[in-house]
Amino acid sequence: MKNYKFKINGAQYEVEVNDFDGKIADIEVNGTKYQVEVESEIKKLKTPTLVRKPVAKRPGEGVIVNTPSVGGLQIKSPLPGSIIKILVAVGDSVKKGDNLLIMEAMKMENNVLAEKDGVVKSISVAVGDNVLQNDALLDIE
């Protein structure tokens, strides 16, 4: 039960709201009982809705294609991260343990090393690319 006091055209009214069922309210005004229908206003949102255009990607942007290595060794990403620096080029000879590239993962720089002696046949990533675990980075033959 809620009590209100209204002053309309100089007259004082004491209103008691007894029950509220949906849009029907049982009220008592200065001792007289009424059933009234309540109309509520539609509330407007104060928070603006942001409308943005969808970001259009260029064909092939952000996609690293994992191609199977033919007869060689495919060096894969040990964990998700982004490529910071590539230290070899296609055609370079590498020995087991040589540093091939540096990637950032979990706010740390990680060296990706050659797992065997050979020649770099292809590089599948570029500086700035984001890679997932087991994405192909380069091929050594």
CATH (domain of 97): 2.40.50.100
How many angstroms separate the Cα of 85 from the Cα of each of 73, 79, 88? 21, 16, 9
Is the distance from CB of 39 to CB of 23 less than 8 angstroms?
yes
Task: Tell whether the model's pLDDT for residue 17 goes beyond 80.
Answer: yes
For residue 84, the SS3 value is strand
> Among 24-28, 29-33, 59-63, which is the least confidently predicted range?
59-63
Q: What is the pLDDT of residue 63?
A: 64
Chain segment 124-133, per-residue pLDDT in tens = 999 999 999 9
pLDDT of residue 71: 61
Q: Are residues 32 and 80 in the same domain?
A: no
Residue 135: HSE in the Cβ half-sphere, 13 Å Cα cutoff: 20
Domain housing 15: 2-37
User: For 8-35, what is the mean pLDDT?
Assistant: 86
Question: How far apart are alpha carbons 95 and 115 in whole angstroms?
Answer: 8
Using one digit for the tens of pLDDT, what is the confidence trace for 62-105? 665 655 545 678 999 999 999 999 999 999 999 999 999 999 98
| Residue 42 domain flag | no
> Is 107 part of any domain?
yes
* pLDDT on residue 94: 93
pTM of the complete model:
0.50
Cα first-last separation, the chain:
85
Number of independent structural domains in the chain: 2
Instruction: Confirm whether 43 is domain-assigned.
Output: no
